[in-house]
Structure 1
Amino acid sequence: MGAESVPRREVVTGRPLPFAGPAAPRPVPAPHPGSEERVRQLMRRQLRTGLLAASLLVALLGLLPVLLRALPPAGAAPRVPPAVWLVLGVAPYPALLALGAWYVRRAERNENDSAGGAPPERP
């Protein structure tokens, strides 16, 4: 038997789009006076907020081994005390959620302050 040419398989997911060629570059708007300084200030505030949130997260998770060490030992039995499960499985999550919510609110406030806009209304 001879080698037969097998047609190439193609996956069809929709109608083929015509090739329009390379896209034309969009014009860049001229910056407003003072906007570079406002962007620089926003970046500094966002960096400060991010570093503060990261340091709080490291402190929160770094204290877990200290808390576990302070718990009373389980004794001779090889079982894990329920307090360890509470410290590892329950306690960090409300703190992480609160830290995340604080970070998002603070980042939005930084952006609104730098844009000069009013804070969004909460329902």
Structure 2
Amino acid sequence: MGAQPTPRREVVTGAPAGRTRAGYPDSLAHDDVVVRKLMRRQMRVGLVACSLLALPLGLFPLLFRLLPAGGVGQGTVWLLLGVAPYPVLLATGAWYVRRAERNEGDVSGR
């Protein structure tokens, strides 16, 4: 029995053709990039929606502090607290849903 021939050494300078560094086919790597991009866009939309809600609703205590104590009745304060936030919430929610669906539609090709 003779000695086994020594395999030829090769220099590896990158991933094999058709593969990415993680060993996935190119189409899966492309899908991964698309999903990350979608997640970034959705995160940005969510942060903007939270900011749009926090700014006007967060200013209510300042508004009540600046109003004269005797000039505004207790009913007006409760009316502002009970009614005024809802149009802001509905408008921000509708905007968020439209943007999120548009982002998903851009990714899926719809």
TM-score higher than 0.5 here?
yes
- 1:36 is the counterpart of 2:32: yes
Cα drift, residue 80 of structure 1: 4.6
* Greater alpha carbon shift after TM alignment, 54-63 vs 93-102: 54-63
Q: Match of 2:62?
A: 66
Cα deviation digits, residues 19-68 of structure 1 (max 9, x gap): xxxxxxxxxxx884521111111000000001111112111221110111
Q: Give TM-score scaled by structure 1 length.
A: 0.61
Q: Give TM-score scaled by structure 2 length.
A: 0.68
Return the letter of the residue paired with 1:57: L
The CA distance in 1 between the partners of 2:67 and 2:86, in whole Å, is 19
| Structure 1 gaps, min length 5 | 1-29, 118-123
Aligned residues: CA RMSD: 2.2
The CA distance in 2 between the partners of 1:95 and 1:31, in whole Å, is 44
The CA distance in 2 between the partners of 1:116 and 1:31, in whole Å, is 19
- 8 Å CA contact 1:42, 1:111 repeated in 2: yes
| Structure 2 gaps, min length 5 | 1-24
- 1:112 is the counterpart of 2:108: no
- 1:48-87 map, 5 Å: 48-74=44-70, 80-87=73-80
Structure that is richer in helix per residue: 2
The CA distance in 1 between the partners of 2:27 and 2:106, in whole Å, is 17
Structure 1 residue ranges, 4+ long, deviating more than 3 angstroms after superposition = 30-33
- 1:90 is the counterpart of 2:83: yes
